């Protein structure tokens, strides 16, 4: 009976390989889990960046379309109201960009786009649509230009490019 109660201290030597195995397995599993968590986070960030860039580019495309079409307006003859016939992209394009900005945009981008929309609706619902006044076009252009500068800065930031010095002119 006495023999059963005695502890043999030499048995700890036999536990060392087993403890080493468990510790090694724990380290491998913890490392695997940490690596998977970081990879998942990186994939989510990459997907979010792609959606944000697409959103920013969609507004820039809309603004560029408006600017390109209106480059020729200044030399065109005046309409019956004595104004230039400015091109304004159709409402569905504006709405599509608005939805993308609402989903993927940051507060400052959403705020600036919301400042554009009342002017846009006033133009579309105006008394002489599709002819808009030079004043309406100038107001819309100024607001769009402010957002386009912000978009350029954000795109460069997302792509980790240096900030443009003269973009705030």
87-121 pLDDT, tens per residue?
788 888 888 999 999 999 999 999 999 998 888 87
What are the pLDDT digits (tens) for 12-52? Answer: 556 677 888 899 999 999 999 999 999 999 999 999 999 99
Pinpoint the alpha helices (H) of 8-161. Answer: 11-71, 91-104, 107-124, 134-158
What are the pLDDT digits (tens) for 56-84? Answer: 999 999 998 888 877 766 666 666 666 66
Residue 1: pLDDT band (50, 70, 90) is very low
- Report the distance separating Cα 167 and Cα 147, nearest Å: 12
Q: Which helix (H) or strand (E) holds 3?
A: helix 2-5
What are the pLDDT digits (tens) for 122-150? Answer: 777 765 556 677 788 888 889 999 999 99
pLDDT over threshold 60, residue 6? no
Backbone phi, then psi, for 136, in 5-degree steps?
-60, -45
Backbone phi, then psi, for 137, in 5-degree steps?
-65, -40
The answer to pTM > 0.75 is no
Q: Which pLDDT does position 39 carry in this prediction? A: 97
């Amino acid at each position: 009976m006495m023999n059963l109660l005695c502890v043999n201290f030499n048995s700890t030597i036999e536990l060392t390989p087993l403890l080493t195995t468990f510790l090694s397995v724990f380290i491998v599993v913890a490392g695997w889990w940490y690596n998977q968590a970081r990879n998942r986070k990186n994939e989510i960030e990459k997907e979010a960046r792609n959606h944000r860039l697409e959103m920013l580019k969609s507004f820039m495309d809309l603004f560029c379309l408006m600017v390109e079409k209106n480059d020729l307006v200044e030399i065109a003859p005046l309409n019956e109201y004595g104004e230039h016939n400015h091109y304004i992209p159709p409402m569905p394009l504006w709405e599509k960009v608005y939805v993308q900005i609402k989903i993927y945009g940051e507060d400052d981008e959403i705020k600036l786009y919301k400042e554009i929309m009342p002017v846009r609706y006033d133009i579309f619902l105006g008394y002489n649509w599709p002819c808009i006044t030079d004043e309406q076009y100038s107001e819309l252009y100024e607001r769009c230009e402010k957002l386009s500068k912000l978009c350029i800065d954000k795109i460069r930031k997302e792509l980790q490019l240096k900030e443009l010095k003269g973009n705030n002119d």
